[in-house]
Amino acid sequence: MTAISMNMHHLENISLRPYNTFGIDVKARFFSEAHSEEDVVILAKNHREDDRPLLILGGGSNILFTKDYPGMVLKISTKGIRVIKEDETSVWVKASAGEAWDDLVKFCVVRGWGGLENLSAIPGNAGTSPVQNIGAYGVEMKDTFCELEAFDLESNRKMTFSNEDCGFSYRDSIFKSQNKGRFIILNVTFCLSKNPILHLDYGNIREELNAMKVVQPGISDVRETVCRIRSLKLPDPAVTGNAGSFFKNPFLSSQQYEVLKHNFPDIVSYLQDGKIKLSAAWMIEQCGWKGKRIGNVGVHEAQPLVLVNNGNATGLEIINLSNDIRQLVSQKFGIMLEPEVNFV
């Protein structure tokens, strides 16, 4: 068997509570942390020689553990952000998979490189951002994504994926759907603009900028505003366990939307990619769930999309709450909400 890097140590029966933002207390039978791409490749190759299941863990911000994990959990903790190319208008930035996403955003914004500022303050790591094509305030990761490198557990080799190769769609990619669990993302490269175009018309970004009396905003103003909005609407995982938005916003055709709007004239919606995106938060609130608490779990009082662990909740308690919410929304609006969080 290939030798393990001196920086890697296999631990046994380790609590995963510190490694998931929901704060669910389950154990991993085996646990290891990779601090270099070499560590990742070595452990992945070793994994092919045994029958233990393997779970790749980034920032733990989009995962809900429902039970102890019987195999190996590999925590990706690789670091590094560097410019690999630039010209008069653009700059290409490569980030290691273990870099905190918001650290990457900050790195780019302070240098005046635009494209990621609307995605400020999103928890998680750079390497997990392509998995569900993270998005916020009218911007998605795919808008600036250039390419990524990943290790293929089936062919035992590194591969490069372009934007098109990743099959990005709303909160989805090939890494979340048809090729789930096959690839370990090693690094991600973004193409950012030196002359950024600001996106201010989603949510209340422009309203907040006006309140701050910012007449000619730049990307740093947008980042500051997004961070403030998110801090007011979303609970801090270090205080209250959560995974951010638990549900996806559903999309409808224009025809489906008109029928629903006839019955619910105040329904909140947005136009995106030729379809109507509904506000799942609005529908959840209309069903009376906003701020509701049931034992160890509940719905956040400021953002109904966020389910919270009020103390010692189990993953199954969170799932049961989400199922109750989905059922009531379906009964009222005829729409079955789809979870954004991955269940393990």
Pair (133, 149) in one structural domain:
yes
Read off the pLDDT band of 4 (50, 70, 90): very low
Domain that holds residue 285: 241-343
> Is the predicted pLDDT of residue 2 greater than 70, yes or no?
no
Pair (48, 111) in one structural domain:
no
Pair (85, 69) in one structural domain:
no
Q: What is the mean pLDDT of residues 36-44?
A: 88
Active site residues: 171, 245, 340
Which amino acid, one-letter code, is at 43?
Answer: L
Q: What is the mean pLDDT of residues 275-285?
A: 93
Q: What percent of the chain has pLDDT over 70?
A: 97
Read off the pLDDT band of 8 (50, 70, 90): low
Which residue reads 């490749």 in tokens? 41
**CATH number (domain holding residue 159):** 3.30.465.10
pLDDT at 49: 65
pLDDT at 178: 86
Q: What is the mean pLDDT of residues 234-261?
A: 90
Q: Which of 45-49, 53-57, 86-90, 220-224 has the lowest mean pLDDT?
A: 45-49
In a domain, 251, yes or no: yes
**CATH number (domain holding residue 318):** 3.90.78.10
> Is the predicted pLDDT of residue 195 greater than 80, yes or no?
yes
Pair (52, 95) in one structural domain:
no
**CATH number (domain holding residue 52):** 3.30.43.10
In a domain, 307, yes or no: yes
pLDDT in tens, 319-338: 999 999 999 999 999 999 99
Read off the pLDDT band of 41 (50, 70, 90): confident
For residue 120, the number of C-alpha atoms closer than 13 Å in the C-beta half-sphere is 23
pLDDT at 28: 95
Which residue reads 């366990």 in tokens? 241
pLDDT at 48: 66
For 33-56, the DSSP string reads EE-SHHHHHHHHHHHTTS---EEE
Strands (E), the chain: 11-15, 27-34, 54-57, 63-64, 69-76, 81-86, 90-96, 135-136, 139-140, 145-152, 157-162, 183-193, 241-245, 251-252, 269-272, 275-278, 293-294, 297-299, 306-309, 342-343
pLDDT in tens, 68-126: 999 999 999 999 999 999 999 999 999 999 999 999 999 999 999 999 999 999 989 99
> Is the predicted pLDDT of residue 6 greater than 50, yes or no?
no
Question: Of 24, 44, 76, which marks where a domain is finished?
Answer: 76
DSSP 4: P
Q: Which of 26-40, 68-82, 228-242, 295-309 has the lowest mean pLDDT?
A: 228-242
In a domain, 117, yes or no: yes
Handedness of CA 300, 305, 306, 307 (dihedral sign): positive
Read off the pLDDT band of 1 (50, 70, 90): very low
Question: Of 136, 166, 193, which marks where a domain is finished?
Answer: 193
Q: What is the mean pLDDT of residues 229-258?
A: 89
In a domain, 205, yes or no: no
* SS3 (DSSP) at 106: helix
User: What mean pLDDT, rounded, does the chain reach?
Assistant: 91
In this structure, what are the phi and psi dihedrals at residue 259, rounded to the nearest 5 degrees?
Answer: -65, -45
pLDDT at 322: 97
For the chain, what's the residue count?
A: 344
Could you tell me which of 240, 260, 256 has the C-alpha nearest to residue 303?
A: 240
Q: Which of 44-53, 113-122, 147-156, 216-225 has the lowest mean pLDDT?
A: 44-53
- Between 112 and 204, whose confidence is greater? 112
* SS3 (DSSP) at 136: strand
Q: What is the mean pLDDT of residues 198-211?
A: 84
Exposed/middle/buried for 153, CB within 10 Å: 0-12, 13-18, 19+? Answer: middle
Handedness of CA 28, 39, 49, 343 (dihedral sign): positive
Q: Which of 44-58, 108-122, 180-194 has the lowest mean pLDDT?
A: 44-58
